[in-house]
Amino acid sequence: MVLVGVCGLLAKRHYTGAFEILVHSYLGNLAASFAVYFVMALPPALERRPAWIAAALALAVVQGFELADGFGLMRNTDDPWDLLANTLGVAAAWAADRYVLTGSRFTRPRSRPAA
- pLDDT tens, 18-53? 877 787 778 888 899 999 999 898 876 667 778 888
- Residue 115, in any domain of the structure: no
Give mean pLDDT, residues 106-111.
49
pLDDT tens profile 57-82? 999 999 988 888 766 666 666 678 98
> What DSSP assignment string belongs to 24-62?
HHHHHHHHHHHHHHHHHHS-TT--PPPHHHHHHHHHHHH
Q: Give the domain extent around 76.
A: 2-101
Confidence band for 114, pLDDT divided at 50, 70 and 90: low
pLDDT (0 to 100) of residue 108: 46
The predicted model scores a pTM of 0.73
Number of domains the chain is built from: 1
- Residue 23, in any domain of the structure: yes
CA angle 95, 97, 103 (to 5 degrees): 95
- Residue 96, in any domain of the structure: yes
